[in-house]
Structure 1
Amino acid sequence: ERGETDEFVKPTRIVPQGMEPVRMQDGDAVISMNYRSDRARQITRAFIEEDFDEFDREVVPKLGDFVTLTEYHKEWDVHVAFPSEKLKNVFGEYIANLGLRQLRLAETEKYAHVTFFFNGGRDEPFEGEERILVPSPDVPTYDLKPEMSAPEVTDKLVEAIESERYDAIIVNYANGDMVGHTGIFEAAIHAVETLDQCLARVTRAIHKVGGAMLITADHGNCEKMLDEETGQPYTAHTTNPVPLIYFDERPARIIDGGALCDVAPTLLKIMGLPQPMEMTGHPLIEFLDEIEEEEE
């Protein structure tokens, strides 16, 4: 009746007919069921911070307990149902310990993915790690601006590549995911065309400095914009296989059937670095010159 779909439902209180609304009271316990820490931090702060000032709270109940499904922030005094597994020697930490320089780059929508998540749940940068955040467009939904901030991200990326300041750059383009969530087919086309143009600029910069590049994703989205069973727009993630594209002057072949755990070992192989024992995946490329040497 309100014209809101699942993704855009405003805060709502549902009360059975004839009953009084239920309010949170002193002594109540809250269990936050969101497993995504980046999505749950904001509302959690409103409950647990005494000096919270992001908006006015009409009532601040003294809760008996606040339990989070996973660890939202290591400094918060809340109970955690499933504490985080402490990952060691993730890609960023490993190359930092080798004294290498790295850059993390994304617009707002995916900034946490190239920093907190890529670092295994760590907020602080590693030694030699720099970060660039490009603001995402201020629009209600991204079908209204399907290019998002990809051109601006690319400007920063090309500049960073050509500076030859970094040994590794991790960048996330948000368009395929965020525009895919809108379910607007024409917008998804525009988003992908934008990325084609941006990646053309990136590959030219990579070629100019003699670098190498991997392009991949952790899930699908905009490749399926229509639910074949219902005929309605499809707005969720997909479990389709994702591409792994290798760009470099050194010839290589891609090994099929990889997984996300294989991406970091692949990056290390391209960089000519040994794989630490904590990484259980395997490289997804084979250099042709190494294959020829083995055959000889």
Structure 2
Amino acid sequence: MVEALKKNPAWKGRKGPVVLVIMDGVGYGKYKEGDAVADSKMYHLDAIRAKSPNTKLKAHGKAVGLPSDEDMGNSEVGHNAMGCGRVFNQGAALVSTSIETGALFQGHAWKEVAATKGTLHFIGLFSDGNVHSHLDHLKAMIKQAKADGVKKVRVHTLFDGRDVGETSALEYIDPFEAFLKEQSTGGFDARIASGGGRMWITMDRYGADWSMVERGWKVHVHGEGRQFASAREAVESYRKEIPGIIDQDLKEFVIADGGKPIGAIQDGDSVVYFNFRGDRSLEITAAFEDDKFDKFDRGRRPAVTYAGMMEYDGDLHAPKRYLVSPPSIDRTMGEYLAATGVRTLAISETQKYGHVTYFFNGNRTGKFDDKLEDFVEIKSDVLPFEQRPWMKCAEITDRILEAIPSGKYDFIRLNFPNGDMVGHTGVYQAVICSMEAMDLQLGRIAKAVDEAGAVLVITADHGNSDDMFEHDKKTGAVSRKADGSPKAKTSHSLNPVPCIIYDPGYQGEYKREPHEGSLVEGLGISSIAATCIELLGYTPPEDYDKPVITR
């Protein structure tokens, strides 16, 4: 239990509630071409921003607890951060802790993969770079598999050369082979079975080159590829044959005995993809899990128990089974507001209902106080989002327009899923439509805020619709298909997101002029919690990340 928040004596109060609008997947784009947010006619959002203090907030990487600033944010960690007002470890640190405490091995997912009567396969980036994976995690799982009675383990290695030395593969292979030999006693058999460079097989992202995944599938699953007696032999052979080749580009290989692959994946086996970072994990996950898969001909698709290290995409719920659960989050904004007697409404459509409830409240099911909290779910359409890009934003707004003047609520939070769910489709025209439909609803809400003397905070959990085309990292040029059309990007972006405070009843409680830059810059979306608490007239907990407003 937490104590009630203390009233802020400097706050003069407002008649209406504080309304937090989360525009899911809406950021400030880095590139003009492919920025569907900037390309849309967002007349209402632009007008609100022009007369309100505003800034940009970080919504990816370390700002939301991920290992590095190369990691894109997502809806789950974004709502976690906004709801708890602090940054909790996600990704690498979370996996390490889960292994150290034994929580990973006590989980249902691990017990399912370790229950195999066949072979337990591990696929992932073979290094200690700690951006996508770490070999210590793999070693710990292999040891536990042996302890749990698994008899046969096969490792499918993806050589790094990007997050570690570009030709360091043998520095990892030799000690790892020694580790496997040490473990292979008492009827336990653990060996490297296949591999290749991370930029040649398996680890594609954003649908840029599915042929990489196809090569990985053939090597890991079917055992199809050039055969070698060991991983060392494979690396040395390719380096000799292709002078100057670096680890990430090493060609595929299969370890074989007597011409027979030692690690082809069979029905009844288990597979763990041990990368914790999501962007280069989703495509191979789809190859294993999706029944309706059309990216390449999988041929024989073995019936396996598949698990990812983490949930790589909460919107897609991929993978269906994952080893490490979200972080244990306490003392959330919702808990403090309930302890203080603040009346709250949380609302979205089905696609993001859990984000403004479960994730916003620190991965907690249910309410803190049934008498003070109302949760409303608007049922989402069950069809491809590009066919109804406006989604349920109007219906959500209809309920908000009833709630704002009702006097029933002090704090209202809502999520418009359009920018994220339609953004994932890669259909540019649909995204434009989704943005403009949402903008119409922002106009309706702003009018209601005016009439009720309320406060409106507009932000987002991460970017997506702001970066709809693939770009070359070095030149910024749009990547194009053979027909000259842009290659669609369907994943989240690394771009900052808005924070706009529309407060028509402003009475000098904080700095607001000039509008641009009047809010604290360089903060992350975890600052949203303290900001809303301040606007409600209370003092945020001391360890919460500071609000974007200054006095």
The verdict on a shared fold, with TM-score over 0.5 as the criterion, is yes
Q: How does 1:247-258 map to 2 (within 5 A)?
A: 247-251=502-506, 252-253=511-512, 254-258=519-523
Amino acid corresponding to residue 239 of structure 1 in structure 2: L
- Structure exhibiting the larger radius of gyration computed from Cα positions: 2
Q: Distance in 2 between matches of 1:137 and 1:194?
A: 16
Change (3 A) 1:104 1:24: farther
1:132 alignment partner, one of 376, 380, 389? 376
Determine if the alignment matches structure 1 residue 284 to structure 2 residue 539: no
Alignment partner for residue 447 of structure 2, among 181, 204, 211?
Answer: 204
What CA distance in whole angstroms lies between the structure 1 residues aligned with 2:271 and 2:339?
Answer: 40
The DSSP-based 3-state class of the residue aligned with 2:436 is helix
Cα-Cα RMSD: 3.5
1:16 is aligned to 222
- Give the unaligned 5+ runs of structure 1: 37-59, 72-78, 292-296
CA distance in 2, matches of 1:34, 1:99: 43
1:245 aligned partner: 500
The match for 1:95 is 337
> For 1:260, what is the secondary structure of its paired residue?
coil
Whether 1:229 and 2:478 are equivalent positions in the alignment is yes
Q: Is the 8 A contact 1:225 1:235 kept in 2?
A: yes
- 2: CA distance between counterparts of 1:23 and 1:98? 57
- 1:85 and 1:193 map into 2 onto residues whose CA distance is 35
Name the CA shift for 1:226/1:69 in 2 (closer, same or farther; >3 Å).
closer
What do the CA deviations read for 1:23-59 (whole angstroms, capped 9, x no partner)? Answer: 553xx656476979xxxxxxxxxxxxxxxxxxxxxxx
Pick closer, same or farther for the CA change 1:123–1:70 going to 2, 3 Å: farther
Partner Cα distance (1:33, 1:112) in 2: 26
In 1, distance between residues paired with 2:273 and 2:367? 27
The reply to whether residue 177 of structure 1 matches residue 177 of structure 2 is no
SS at match of 1:232: coil
Q: Which residue of 2 aligns with 1:115?
A: 357
For 1:244, what is the secondary structure of its paired residue?
strand
2:428 and 2:392 map into 1 onto residues whose CA distance is: 19
CA distance in 2, matches of 1:239, 1:223: 10
Paired residue total:
247
Contact 1:164–1:209 (CA under 8 A) maintained in structure 2: no
- Over 3 Å counting, the alpha-carbon distance change for 1:182 and 1:120 in structure 2 is same
Change (3 A) 1:156 1:237: same
Mapped to 2, the partners of 1:211 and 1:70 lie a distance apart of: 40
In structure 2, give the amino acid aligned to 1:121.
Answer: N
The aligned amino acid for 1:209 is: A
Q: 1:178 to 1:67 in 2, by over 3 A?
A: closer
Structure 1 residue 216: Cα displacement: 0.4
Q: What secondary structure sits across from 2:531 in the alignment?
A: helix
Alignment of 1:16-55 (within 5 A): 16=222, 24-25=267-268, 31=272
2:308 and 2:343 map into 1 onto residues whose CA distance is 35
Whether contact under 8 Å (1:262, 1:283) holds in the other structure is: yes
For the 8 Å contact 1:70–1:81, the answer to whether it is kept is yes
Structural mapping, 1:263-274, within 5 Å: 263-274=528-539
Assess, with a 3 A threshold, how the Cα gap between structure 1 residues 108 and 283 changes in structure 2: closer, same or farther.
same
Letter in 1 for 2:355: H
One-letter amino acid matched to 1:232: K
- The percent identity for this pair of structures is 34
For the residues of structure 1 that align with 2:379 and 2:275, how far apart are their CA atoms? 25
